[in-house]
Amino acid sequence: MEIVSTNRSHGGTQGVYTHQSAETGTPMTFSVFVPDHAPGAKLPVLWYLSGLTCTHANVTEKGEFRAACAEHGVIFVAPDTSPRGDDVPDDEGYDFGKGAGFYVDATQQPWAANYRMRSYIETELSALVAQQFPADMARQGITGHSMGGHGALTIALRNPGRFRSVSAFSPIVSPLNCPWGAKALTGYIGPDRAAWREYDACALIEDGARLPDLLVDQGTADTFLEEQLKTPLLQDACSRAGQPATIRMQDGYDHSYYFISTFMAEHVVWHAGRLKA
């Protein structure tokens, strides 16, 4: 692991790091905020997965999480959304290829060699964070935005007991039922829709997966709400399954970081309460 940059902020250290990933076969960049802490102390970890076209930098620069993380003693980890590099396959569209890894392990060519964001997040980067930072991996939470909200929900649902807290901002709740999901999963996984279910939060809940609790914020002025995000499908799936969930429709808010930064501190506090319990 190499240090790209470190900066003092809110009584902690904001770092950006890079390492050679065995999963993606490329260098990968990620950011970590570590609050000041007593020597030898281990802190709970909150993962944040970003959305389409984003890198680690979007939330790191605009997410406004550091004050709350410093106050509550929570490490904040923000990975990239896909492999990068001149030799990595790409697509002309913004919603597939670089910047749009969809947190899956691709099985189709030419994507399978590099697009392994599921294993990268679940296994490789998790092990690196545990090794290099004062992280208590028994106390993990996960959140994300849009495509990253999809990633946070599905990763948590597939790994029962791993995350004490799960939240999302404007998540893609059912890739089986939206154009973004259909394009990504067909391209990465293939046409068999049964194979898509492990990458669909609503399908995972229908198939019996559960979370300890769930917090979702969704803006009512989000232009992607009706066609792509489909929040009512998650509300229905949770209701039918008895899955505890607080799904808040925030009046007048859109899909941007103006929205995310407004409610980020609330999410950090919500996670902190569960991670410290």
Q: Which of 31, 50, 82, 146 is catalytic?
A: 146
178 token code pair: 């939206």
Is the dihedral angle over the CA atoms 48, 112, 156, 163 positive or is it negative? negative
Q: Which of 72, 145, 255, 267 is catalytic?
A: 255
Tokens 């996670």 — which residue? 271
In what side-by-side order are the strands of the sheet with 246-250?
2-9, 12-20, 27-35, 75-79, 43-49, 135-144, 165-169, 215-219, 246-250
Q: Which of 72, 80, 222, 267 is catalytic?
A: 222
Asked about 146 being catalytic, the answer comes back as yes
Burial label for 208, CB within 10 Å (0-12, 13-18, 19+), is exposed
Q: Are the C-beta atoms of 205 and 157 separated by less than 8 Å?
A: yes
Q: Are the C-beta atoms of 117 and 103 separated by less than 8 Å?
A: yes
Active-site residues, by number, are: 146, 222, 255
